[in-house]
Amino acid sequence: MRKIAVLTSGGDSPGMNSCIRAVVRYAISQGLEIFGIKRGYQGLIEDDMELMSIRSVGNIIQQGGTILKTARCKEFKQDEVIDKAVQILRNRGIEGLVVIGGDGTFRGAERLIERGILCACIPATIDNNLFYTDYTLGFDTATNTVVDLINKVRDTSLSHDRVFIAETMGAGCGDLALKAGLAAGADMVIVPEVSCNVDDIVKKLLYAKSQNKKFSMIVLSEKVFDTNELKKVLTEKSGIECRTIVFGHIQRGGSPSAFDRNLGINFGVRAVQELMNGNCGVVGYKDGQYIYDTIEFALSVKQNFNYEEYKLIETLSI
Ligand code: ADP
């Protein structure tokens, strides 16, 4: 193998740049030529790529986002569009691809592998919703960001004796709400993995009030409830003033944590090594070890929620 390429696709996450830097510099150290494809699969089908150098990834390790940019490319699900992508790679003599993104991005890579392009995938999303790995790239930074935001909300809501509902991202996975909620001392965490009804929340709020606790922090993973509707119903039923805050895209930004930078570096180097050995698959981090497995396996793991930690929220609140 002489030429490979790297792209970032789907939602961006902090640590992608650290990973790109490692991929590029490690590949060059091994005598490979490496191209950076712009805007994920969209850039691939437009042949929008450039030869990377040691210098082109200088001074990016500390930056959030992705210097390669990212995009969502709907057409990439069509056979003829994927065939075109394969042709573009073949014309340039590119035999392998490092693909950095989430589950959708992995599905795109599967289609390229079917057509003979070697792909090594790297899990990158703040949602941690790829369950074969304990950590996806960006999750740790986003968790720290949410903890910091909750700390700030806590200052104001303590001063006003208010209940706050803080909505986090999650895309069907409660890890961000759970880990940030636990670390920020939340009183309740509402996640898709655990069913929860409004009357239970009201009961907990009223009990907290009876214990002279005037402030409560509820961390809500997006889409489990409509946040504003929940606020309305809780305020009506409990008689306690509730406020909401939706953290939104701030959770995706910021300088990556040391953990995410190191994860990105290890993921990136391993991905290039596996490509050089002709292995398609996904890197991951499981029980303290870096792993490499198939995309099929990665996408087949449906759950990795830590119910023990979830129970601790209740045990440690009030
Ligand atoms: P993420 O990778 O963060 O999960 P998306 O689900 O938006 O983000 O997927 C990123 C991109 O991957 C999509 O815009 C599309 O180009 C490609 N993709 C997603 N699903 C498929 C699929 N089933 N087949 C081919 N390409 C796909």
Residues 61-78 have pLDDT tens digits of 999 999 999 999 999 999
Q: Is 101 in the pocket of ligand 1 (CB under 6 A)?
A: yes
For position 157, what pLDDT does the model report? 86
Residue ranges of alpha helices (H) inside 30-126 are 40-45, 79-92, 103-114
Q: Does residue 318 register a pLDDT over 90? A: no
Residue type, 21: R
pLDDT for position 44: 98
Bridge-based pairing of strands 33-37 and 49-51 is antiparallel
Look at residues 216, 127, 114, 234 and name the one whose alpha carbon lies nearest to residue 170: 127
Ligand 1 atom closest to the CA of 101, numbered from 1: 2
* 127 noted as active-site residue: yes
- How high is the pLDDT of residue 215? 87
Q: 107 in ligand 1 pocket by Cβ < 6 Å?
A: yes
Distance of CA 227 to CAs 79, 125, 243, 251, 318, Å? 39, 23, 10, 17, 23
Confidence band for 45, pLDDT divided at 50, 70 and 90: very high
DSSP secondary structure letter of residue 133: S
Query: How high is the pLDDT of residue 161?
Result: 83
pLDDT score of 253:
97
Q: 108: CA distance to ligand 1 center in Å?
A: 6
> Vertex 127, ends 123 and 130: CA angle to 5°?
45
Query: What region does 294 belong to: left with phi over 0, alpha with psi -120 to 50, or beta?
Result: beta
Which residue, judged by its Cα, is nearest atom 8 of ligand 1?
A: 10
pLDDT at site 158: 86
Quickly name the fold that domain 3-138+256-300 has: Rossmann fold (3.40.50)
**Ligand 1 contact via 136 beta carbon (within 6 Å):** no
Measuring from atom 6 of ligand 1, which residue has the nearest CA?
104
How many angstroms separate the alpha carbon of residue 8 from the centre of ligand 1? 11
Q: What amino acid is encoded at 113 in this protein?
A: I
d(CA 110, ligand 1 centre) in Å: 11
Domain extent listing, the chain: 3-138+256-300, 141-252
Q: For residue 73, how far is its CA from the centre of ligand 1 (angstroms)?
A: 7
Q: Is 76 in the pocket of ligand 1 (CB under 6 A)?
A: yes
- Say whether 141-252 and 3-138+256-300 share the same fold: yes
| Banded model confidence at residue 160, pLDDT cuts 50, 70, 90 | confident
Given the residues 12, 103, 127, 140, select the one marked as catalytic. 127
pLDDT, average across residues 290-314: 97
Neighbours of 42 (CB within 10 A): 20
Cβ contacts of 123 within 8 Å, gap of 6 or more: 102, 106, 130, 133, 136, 137, 267, 282, 283, 284, 298
Would you give the distance in Å from CA 307 to the centre of its chain? Answer: 20
The CATH architecture one would assign to domain 141-252 is 3-Layer(aba) Sandwich (3.40)
**Distance from Cα 311 to the centre of ligand 1, integer Å:** 34
Share of residues in the chain with pLDDT > 70 (%): 100
The answer to whether residues 23 and 52 touch, using CB atoms and an 8 Å cutoff, is no
Q: Is 9 in the pocket of ligand 1 (CB under 6 A)?
A: yes
What's the token pair of residue 65? 């986002």
Q: Looking at ligand 1, which atom is closest to the CA of residue 103? A: 4
